[in-house]
Amino acid sequence: MNKKYRILAITYDYYPDNSPNTYRWHNILTEWANEGHEVFVISAQKPGLSSYEIAEGVRVYRTGKSWLEILKSKLPKTVKLEDQSDTANRSLTKESMVKRIYNSTFKKIYFPDFAFLWLSPAKRLAAKLIKEHGINNLITVSWPFTDHLIGYQLQKQHKLNWIADTIDPFYLSDAVNNKFLYKKANRSIENKVLSKASSITVLTHKLKKKYIELYPSLKDKIFVNHNIFIPYPIKKCTNQDSNKIKLVFFGTLIPETRSPITLLKMMDLIDRAENTSMIELHIYGDTTQCDAEFEMYNHLIGRRVYIHGLISKEQVKDNSATADILVNIGNLNEYQEPSKIIEYVYLNKPILNICSIVNDSSKELLDKYHLNFNFYKEDLTIESRKEDLFDFIFHSHDDSFKQTDEGLLANYLLPEVQSRYLKLLEDNTQ
Maximum mean pLDDT: which of 85-89, 305-309, 357-361: 305-309
Maximum mean pLDDT: which of 102-116, 303-317, 389-403: 303-317
**Per-residue pLDDT at 75 exceeds 60:** no
Residue 391 lies in a domain: yes
Contact 312, 277 (CB under 8 A): no
Question: What beta strand segments (E) does 11-88 contain?
Answer: 38-44, 52-55, 58-63, 78-80
What's the half-sphere exposure (Cβ side, CA atoms, 13 Å) at 253?
A: 29
Cα gap 366→379, rounded to integer Å:
19
* Alpha-carbon dihedral 353, 356, 359, 362, rounded to 10 degrees: -30
Question: What beta strand segments (E) does 276-422 contain?
Answer: 279-284, 305-309, 325-329, 351-355, 372-376
Q: 20-26 — which CB contacts under 8 Å span 24+ positions?
A: 20/167, 20/227, 20/339, 20/340, 21/141, 21/143, 21/167, 23/228, 23/339, 24/167, 24/227, 24/228, 24/339, 24/417, 25/141
pLDDT one-digit tens code per residue, 209-228: 999 999 999 999 999 998 88
pLDDT band for 307, please (50, 70, 90 cuts).
very high
Cα gap 129→237, rounded to integer Å:
49
Residue 338 lies in a domain: yes
Residue with more model confidence, 113 or 235: 113
Average pLDDT of 26-39? 95
Residue with more model confidence, 104 or 395: 395
Residue 52, Cα to own-chain centre: how many angstroms? 26
Average pLDDT of 253-259? 84
Amino acid at 75: L
Contact 236, 302 (CB under 8 A): no
Quote the pLDDT of residue 99. 61
Quote the pLDDT of residue 318. 85
The total number of structural domains that make up the chain: 2
Same domain, residue pair 381 and 251: yes
Residue 373 is part of a domain; what is its CATH number? 3.40.50.2000
Cα gap 131→111, rounded to integer Å:
29
372 is in which domain, residue-wise? 245-409
Residue with more model confidence, 20 or 164: 164
Maximum mean pLDDT: which of 74-83, 91-100, 128-137, 239-248: 128-137
Write the CA distances from 281 to 45, 83, 256, 296, 301, integer angstroms: 36, 21, 22, 16, 10
Residue 357, Cα to own-chain centre: how many angstroms? 18
pLDDT one-digit tens code per residue, 257-300: 789 999 999 999 999 999 999 999 999 998 988 999 999 999 99
**Per-residue pLDDT at 40 exceeds 80:** yes
Residue 237 lies in a domain: no
**Per-residue pLDDT at 68 exceeds 60:** no
Helices 119-133 and 146-157, packing angle to 10 deg: 40
pLDDT band for 319, please (50, 70, 90 cuts).
confident
State the average pLDDT for the chain.
84
Amino acid at 156: K
Residue 79 lies in a domain: no
Residue 98 lies in a domain: no
**Per-residue pLDDT at 57 exceeds 90:** yes
pLDDT one-digit tens code per residue, 112-148: 788 888 999 999 999 999 999 999 999 999 889 899 9
Same domain, residue pair 166 and 205: yes
**Per-residue pLDDT at 95 exceeds 60:** no
Same domain, residue pair 164 and 208: yes
Same domain, residue pair 279 and 314: yes
Same domain, residue pair 205 and 220: yes
Residue 82 lies in a domain: no
**Per-residue pLDDT at 417 exceeds 50:** yes
* CA neighbor of 342 nearest in space, from 253, 232, 246, 228: 228
Residue 174 lies in a domain: yes
Same domain, residue pair 199 and 264: no
Amino acid at 237: C
pLDDT one-digit tens code per residue, 362-414: 877 788 887 889 999 899 999 999 999 999 999 876 554 555 556 788 888 99
* CA neighbor of 338 nearest in space, from 206, 163, 167, 113: 167
Same domain, residue pair 356 and 368: yes
Average pLDDT of 199-205? 91
Same domain, residue pair 131 and 43: yes
pLDDT one-digit tens code per residue, 17-32: 878 788 899 999 999 9
Quote the pLDDT of residue 92. 47
Same domain, residue pair 222 and 252: no
Cα gap 145→139, rounded to integer Å:
13
Quote the pLDDT of residue 59. 97
* CA neighbor of 267 nearest in space, from 227, 304, 230, 229: 304
Cα gap 412→230, rounded to integer Å:
8
Same domain, residue pair 423 and 364: no
Please return the burial class of 313, using the count of CB atoms within 10 Å of its CB with bins 0-12, 13-18 and 19+: exposed
Quote the pLDDT of residue 85. 35
Write the CA distances from 178 to 60, 106, 118, 297, integer angstroms: 32, 11, 19, 29
Same domain, residue pair 217 and 325: no
Percent of the chain with pLDDT over 90: 45
Helices 179-196 and 205-214, packing angle to 10 deg: 100
Residue 180 lies in a domain: yes
**Per-residue pLDDT at 48 exceeds 50:** yes
Quote the pLDDT of residue 81. 38
- Identify the H or E element spanning 33: helix 20-34
Percent of the chain with pLDDT over 70: 83
Same domain, residue pair 137 and 151: yes
